[in-house]
Amino acid sequence: MIVNIYKPVGWTSFDVVKKVRNITKEKKVGHGGTLDPFAEGVLIIGTGKDTKQLQEITNSDKSYLGVLKFGEETDTLDSEGRVVKTAPVPELSAADIKAVFNSFLGPREQTPPMYSAKKVNGVRLYKLARKNLEIHREPNKIYIYALDFITWEEGQLSFTVTCSKGTYIRVLAGEIARELGSVGHLIKLIRTSIGKFRVEDAITIPEFETAWLSTVS
C-alpha cells in the first residue's frame, strides 16, 4: 500500500511511520522522503512489499510553498531554532525579488545544514548539532526548476519552489535572504508535491485511520 499522508506540523516523518504501523499492524512501513518537524504537507507512506517503491518516490522532484521571515537567522534556519544573527529588513520590490529568484534557477551546489537528518559517518547531523558540534559536509548537487514570488509584506516573503531531490528549502531560504541583503529563516513550509503525488489528494492521519478501520471491521 502506498498512501499520500498530509503530515501535520510538529510530527517527525518517523512519527507518521509509527502511527501508520500502529493503525495497520503492518511490520514493514517506511516513508518516501523526510519532511522536517516544523513543516507540513505531502509525506508518502509505503507498507509491506510496496515499500520497494519508496526509493523511486524519494528520488522524485518536489514542490514546496514557503514563507521566509527577514531580519533574523536561526541556527536551524527555521522557526524552531534560536536566533544567531540579525540584520535590517530591506525595502524590496517585486522586481528585486524576481531578479534574485532567477539567479537561483538551474544546477547548483548546496551544503546540507547541521540541523538535518542526513547521516555522516553513520551519525545524523542534528545529533551533532545539538552538542554544538559542526563537521564538514560535502555539498549536494541540486537543481532548481522553478522559483516563484507570491507576496512580500511586513518583512515576510512567500514563494513556491520546484526542485530536485536533496534540496534543503531552509538553506535555500537563507541564501535568498542573504542575496537580498539581509538574513532570514523559514516560518512556514508546506510540501505540495512529490513526483505525481499532490497535496490536494493527501489525507490526514485521522482520515487514514477511519478509512483503514472501515476496511477491517
36 catalytically annotated: yes
Contact in structure between 172 and 110 (CB atoms under 8 Å):
yes
Give Cβ neighbours of residue 205 (< 8 Å, ≥ 6 apart). Answer: 5, 6, 8, 16, 19, 20
Residue 191: φ, ψ to 5°: -85, 120
Cα 125-131-134 angle, rounded to 5 deg: 50
| Cα Rg of the chain (Å, integer) | 18
Q: b/e map of 70-85 (b: 16 or more CB within 10 Å)? A: bbbbbbbbbbebeeee
Integer Cα distance of 66 and 175 in angstroms: 14
- Report the helix count and the strand count for the chain, using DSSP H and E: 6, 13
Nearest Cα residue to 113 out of 148, 143, 75: 75
Q: How far apart are the first and last CA of the chain?
A: 18
Nearest Cα residue to 113 out of 104, 124, 99: 124
Catalytic residue among 15, 36, 61, 75: 36
Active-site annotation, residues:
36
